[in-house]
Structure 1
Amino acid sequence: MPKFYTVDVFTNQRFGGNPLAVVMDAEGLDQTVMQAVSAEFNLSETTFVLPPVDPANTARVRIFNRTAEMPFAGHPMVGTAFVLAGMQPELIDAVFEVPAGLVRVRIDRDDDGAPLAATIAAPQPLSVAGTVAPDVIAKVLGLDLTDIVTSTHSPTIASNGNSFVIAEISRDALGRCAPDLDAFRAARSSHPQMGGRFAVHVYSKDGRTIRARMFAPLSGTWEDPATGSANAPLACLLLSFEPGVDSAQFEIHQGVEMGRPSLLHVEARRSAQGIVATLGGSCVSVMEGQISV
């Protein structure tokens, strides 16, 4: 029977941050079972740890939300690294194989060697797949058109391995977001470039400090407490509008409105490959057990 662990990611307080289930020794589970297990956990994501294809890497990791497999996601990478670090005292640098590419991880430990946090490098540089009309964002989140801020950029489809619509909104509007499922379905149908999904990451900023919320109700996540794979392209996108700046560090707060406050540290920097991102945060162990399949 495979063993599982749950951790709260991007927090140092148990029952804060974004919960993650990590299933170890998942070789005997096929995709249908993995999807069923993920739906049973009913968390934003569940990861399944497998032997790497390339023995030079640490593990192959499959990531599932409640309804589908994902090519990349941030908090699953951070949380999975934290769990593995608890089993392997010598593990400091890890490389995970995911569908979007290779994810490099650095693990932070306390003076006694216990894991505290992890920082990952997003597997792809920033890519942009067009914009979305501000009125679409207003409709899907039950906001007024005047709540959508376009002074820096229009709502933009951006990715470092997993696509999101990223939109700036007013600080007051952050607390008034109310997802409309019919509007989300219509938006998904009218934006095929998002590959059959429509996830919206909204934010308000004060310098390098950001408050954010992410909604993906069509994937089973009404709201996510902390979304690394959305905050990475957010940081990269913001850096792209500062042509004279080589790198920028952001402190991103998410999950506040849900009662699961999360803190992500994200750095975007220009490289030969494009604008790339690293992101990290603390983790806390919560539960462990076995799965009967």
Structure 2
Amino acid sequence: MAPGDVARDLPCQVVSTGLPQLMVPLESLDAVRRATTNETPYYEHVVDGLGVKAVLVFARETYESESDLNVRVFVEAHGIPEDSATGSANTSLAALLLRERTSASELRLTAEQGYEMDRPSTLHLRADRTDDSVVARVGGRVSNVLEGRLL
């Protein structure tokens, strides 16, 4: 990623709906595709400096015409280089977008995630403004991909 890839209409910021995450708005789908974390700066500036273990990058340009956002989430500090569908991070994103981008009382968006991993996911984001806060939710369909038994 290059410095010009970061969108200028919304600041990079830490948002939390229980788990803090760094939100990074990008200008294009190409910028999202090229996004990576660099181990040393990630741990020094994001994990240690901000106290955040997850980085969400997003753009309004998408693979699918029915999607509103393309999202990637990196959580290397938890041993997961990239997650294919991240409810907590997308919930934070919905709250951020309602708070920062609109004066509306509600926001409904569809986010696509996991495309770069060949594990495409669709998440339905909802945020509602109350008198003193924003209530955010995420939903979608799931598929059983593994079954096991813990003894």
Q: TM-score, normalised by structure 1?
A: 0.47
Aligned pair partner of 2:26 in 149, 169, 182? 169
Match of 2:38 in 1: 180
SS in 2 for 1:264: strand
1:213 to 53, 72, 95: 72
TM-score, length of structure 2 as denominator length? 0.88
The code of the aligned residue for 1:202 comes to V
Give the letter aligned to residue 58 of structure 2. Answer: Y
Q: Distance in 1 between matches of 2:44 and 2:85?
A: 25
Is there any run of 5+ residues in structure 2 with no aligned partner, and where? none
Q: Matches of 1:206 and 1:286 in 2, distance apart?
A: 29
Q: Alpha carbon RMSD of aligned pairs, Å?
A: 1.8
> Residue 96 of structure 2 corresponds to which residue in structure 1?
237
Matches of 1:218 and 1:287, distance apart in 2: 24
Q: Indicate the SS of the match to 2:98.
A: helix
Q: State how far apart, in whole Å, the 2-side matches of 1:216 and 1:277 are.
A: 21
Query: What does the per-residue CA deviation read over 1:59-88, in whole Å, with 9 as the maximum and x for residues that have no partner?
Result: xxxxxxxxxxxxxxxxxxxxxxxxxxxxxx
Counterpart amino acid of residue 103 in structure 2: G
Distance (whole Å) between structure 1 residues aligned to residue 101 and residue 71 of structure 2: 20
1:248 and 2:107 correspond:
yes
Letter in 1 for 2:12: P
SS of the residue 1:265 aligns to = strand
In the TM superposition, structure 1's runs of 4+ consecutive aligned residues that sit over 6 Å from their partners are: none
Query: Offset of 1:206 from its aligned partner?
Result: 4.9
Q: Secondary structure at the match of 1:285?
A: coil
The structure that is strand-richer by fraction is 1
Gaps of 5+ in 1: 1-142
For the residue of structure 2 that corresponds to 1:241, the secondary structure is: helix
Q: What is the percent sequence identity of the aligned residues?
A: 30
Q: Secondary structure at the match of 1:272?
A: coil
- For residue 258 of structure 1, what is the amino acid of its counterpart? M
Matches within 5 A, 1:184-195: 184-187=42-45, 188-191=47-50, 194=51
Find the partner of 2:14 among 136, 143, 157.
157
Of structures 1 and 2, the larger Rg is shown by 1
